[in-house]
Amino acid sequence: MLHIPYSSIMHTTGTTNSHQRQCQRPPSAAAAAPALACMAAQPVYNAAMSAVSSAARLAVRAAAAGSLGLNQGIRLADTQAREVVDDIFAHALKKQTGVSLKYMLDFGSSPIERQLVLSSQFLHKELPVRLAHRVAELENLPYGLSSKSSILKVRDWYVESFKELRTFPHIRDANDELKFTELLRHIYRRHANVVPVMAKGVAELKRELSERAVLTEMPEIHQFLDGFYLSRIGIRILIGQHIALHEPSKANHIGLICTKCSPWQVAQDAINDARSICMREYGAAPDVSIYGDPNFVFAYVPSHLHHMVFELVKNSLRAVQDRFEDADDEPPPIRLVVAEGGEDVTIKVSDEGGGIPRSGLARIWTYLYSTAKSRVQMEELQDDTDGPAVLAGYGYGLPVSRLYARYFGGDLQIISMEGYGTDAYLHLNRLGNVQEPLP
């Protein structure tokens, strides 16, 4: 197997021009954001910005809104040393480096010492860039979202991790690498509850604005959440993959990736999990039949696949159960088809749960949109839970599943026939050579 050193992809790391270098050292921490906003007017700067991610651009745009008094949060500069704030903004302007599933497979197939050192050197350089992009965004969200206590909490986790990575010395050998892996484990744990804590802040904003706007009318918040959660998936897979290479090797696994992942088997497990939750909540659960080749395998991350199928099946179970709860006949079974294509593995989940009205279709992709009767109160969201074990109610199922699919070059589509049922198409890229999408 071909081993590509991480350094061979480092050429894609963004280089900075002189103008950007000026941006990296704002005159003072407090002035950093407004200074960035002013520079946005300069054509050279605009050209430079087109080379960096949309995250940094959003941060710069939002910084302008902040300077207009729209953002009253506790600024980073109020709580962090000036050098730290400058360092964060400098990193927020650097380009993030994407990797592909195939690359991770090639790289981790025989993790010898030298490769682990190279991998940690790459992460040591890359993670601060990705974290800084998110801090810049979290610092400058519109509608006062940045000042919500849970958003500040998440921002501070990102800042802490950024600082720990930046103060970690250069990694030279296996010994340094072991220490660095310990730091990665620590960071991984710190960020475990980012999703529910963020959701709390967004739910608070939604409640405040509910009379005036819905989330679909706040595209910038939606766009931010999509980018933020996508980035989180990427960061966690990079860290998770590195940590997993230290663990005793599992058969047919390269880190988190299973080289012989059976979509049939993963779907069966996800169906069992979803049906038992449905049983618990309704006292009954419609049948789910699987069609496809049980022996077919391909390279994928089983935990991601499980998450996506679990969410789709939960939605179908709920729709069918709600529709046929009082019917005399047995509810029609949900059908799950696994199709094996050259480019894609597609999983279709079809139900006869009555479908989704066309006017509601755009909303299903927004965070916190749910028609569940047992609408979960965000106050109930404990910071120490690792996600909801309920059938529905958070509204995160579809948008987050689509991000998981897109992360490895796939996609998720929902087609509905109102009055009949819904088909969900989950496309998973088979080749694995698509580079991570980076917000």
- Residue ranges in contact with ligand ADP by CB under 6 A: 311, 315-316, 319, 351, 353, 356, 364, 369-372, 392-395, 397-398, 422
H or E stretch including 248?
none
Q: Are 271 and 318 in contact (CB under 8 A)?
A: no
Question: What is the nearest approach in angstroms of ligand ADP to the Cβ of residue 383?
Answer: 19
Instruction: Among 397, 399, 410, 421, indicate the residue that binds Mg ion (CB under 5 A).
Output: 397
- Residue 133 vs 402, nearer CB to ligand ADP: 402
Nearest partner of 69 among 119, 34, 40, judged by Cα: 34
Question: What is the nearest approach in angstroms of Mg ion to the Cβ of residue 315?
Answer: 4
- Residue 43 vs 419, nearer CB to ligand ADP: 419
Site string for Mg ion, 232-251 (x = CB under 5 A): --------------------
Question: What is the nearest approach in angstroms of ligand ADP to the Cβ of residue 40?
Answer: 35
Question: What is the nearest approach in angstroms of ligand ADP to the Cβ of residue 372?
Answer: 5
Question: What is the nearest approach in angstroms of ligand ADP to the Cβ of residue 234?
Answer: 21
Which residue has the closest beta carbon to Mg ion? 397
Can you tell me the distance from the alpha carbon of 112 to that of 157, in angstroms, rounded to the nearest whole number?
A: 32
Binding partner at 103 among Mg ion, ligand ADP, none, C-beta below 5 to 8 Å by kind: none
Measured in whole angstroms, the distance separating CA 88 from the mean position of its chain's CA atoms is 21
Q: Are 316 and 352 in contact (CB under 8 A)?
A: no
Can you tell me the distance from the alpha carbon of 57 to that of 36, in angstroms, rounded to the nearest whole number?
A: 10
Residue environment code for 226-258, b if the CB has 16+ CB neighbours within 10 A, otherwise e: bbbbbbbbbbbbbbbbbbbbeeeeeeebbbbbb
- Residue 290 vs 372, nearer CB to ligand ADP: 372
Residue 429 annotated in active site? no
Binding partner at 6 among ligand ADP, Mg ion, none, C-beta below 5 to 8 Å by kind: none
Residue 315 annotated in active site? yes
- Residue 187 vs 405, nearer CB to Mg ion: 405
Which sign, positive or negative, has the C-alpha torsion 234, 134, 121, 2? positive
- Burial environment of residue 102 by CB neighbours within 10 A (0 to 12, 13 to 18, 19 or more): middle
Q: Are 349 and 426 in contact (CB under 8 A)?
A: yes
Candidates 192-200, 254-262, 332-340, 384-392: pick the segment binding Mg ion (CB under 5 A). 384-392
Cross-sheet strand order for the sheet of 253-254 = 253-254, 257-261, 298-300
Of 315, 348, 352, 427, which is the active-site residue?
Answer: 315
- Residue 395 vs 432, nearer CB to ligand ADP: 395
SS (H, E, C) 178-193: HHHHHHHHHHHHHCCC
Binding partner at 39 among ligand ADP, Mg ion, none, C-beta below 5 to 8 Å by kind: none
Tokens of 356: 């989704």
The one-letter amino acid code at 239 reads I
Question: What is the nearest approach in angstroms of ligand ADP to the Cβ of residue 173?
Answer: 47
Query: With the CA atoms of 18, 19, 23 and 26 taken in that order, what torsion angle do they form, in degrees rounded to the nearest 10?
Result: 80
Binding partner at 371 among Mg ion, ligand ADP, none, C-beta below 5 to 8 Å by kind: ligand ADP
Of 137, 139, 177, 311, which is the active-site residue?
Answer: 311
- Residue 74 vs 372, nearer CB to ligand ADP: 372
- Residue 353 vs 409, nearer CB to ligand ADP: 353
SS (H, E, C) 252-294: CEECCEEEEECHHHHHHHHHHHHHHHHHHHHCCCCCEEEECCC
Question: What is the nearest approach in angstroms of ligand ADP to the Cβ of residue 319?
Answer: 3
- Burial environment of residue 210 by CB neighbours within 10 A (0 to 12, 13 to 18, 19 or more): exposed
Of 91, 307, 348, 427, which is the active-site residue?
Answer: 307
Instruction: Among 60, 345, 392, 438, indicate the residue that binds Mg ion (CB under 5 A).
Output: 392
315 binds Mg ion (CB under 5 A): yes
The one-letter amino acid code at 43 reads P
Residue 435 DSSP label? B
Active site residues: 307, 311, 314-315
Interface residues with Mg ion (CB under 5 A) are 315, 392, 397
